Amino acid sequence: MRAQARQRTLGALARRRQRDELNATRLEEFFTAAEREAAIDHDTEREIAAVREKAAARKHALTDTKHAALAGIHSNGETASTIAQWTGLPAKDIRALLHHTSAPAATPAAHDPAITGAD
C-alpha cells in the first residue's frame, strides 16, 4: 500500500513538473510575442510620425505657393473681393492672407520635390 501511494505521488509530481515546464514554455512564448508586438507598435508610431512630418513639410510648401500666387494676383491690381470671388474664399480670409504675405508673385513649384513628393 505504501509503495502504491509512493508511485501515485511520484506520478502526480511528474505530471505536475511536466505541466509546469509546458506552462513556462508557453509563458515564454507569450512574453516574447508581447515584446515583438510592442516593438511593432513603437516602429509604427515612429513611421507615422515621419510620414506626418513629411506631409506637413509638403503642405507648408504648397501653402507658401498658394499665398504667393494670391499675392501675385493682388500685386497685378486685383482686389481682395475679386480674389475672393475667384477662389471661393471669404474676402476677410483673403485680406488676412494678403496682410501676412510679402511675396510679390507665385513661384513655379511643379518640379519642387517637397511639393510633388518625388525623391
Q: How many domains does the chain have?
A: 1
- 111 pLDDT more than 80: no
| Residue corresponding to grid cell 503642405 | 59
The single-letter code of the amino acid at 106 is A
pLDDT digits (tens, 9 = 90+) for 43-62: 999 999 999 999 999 999 99
Q: Domain span at residue 75?
A: 2-116
Q: What is the pTM of this model?
A: 0.54
Q: Quick one: cell of 4?
A: 502504491
Average pLDDT over residues 71-99: 96
Instruction: Name the pLDDT band for 90 (thresholds 50, 70, 90).
Output: very high
Instruction: Name the pLDDT band for 105 (thresholds 50, 70, 90).
Output: very low
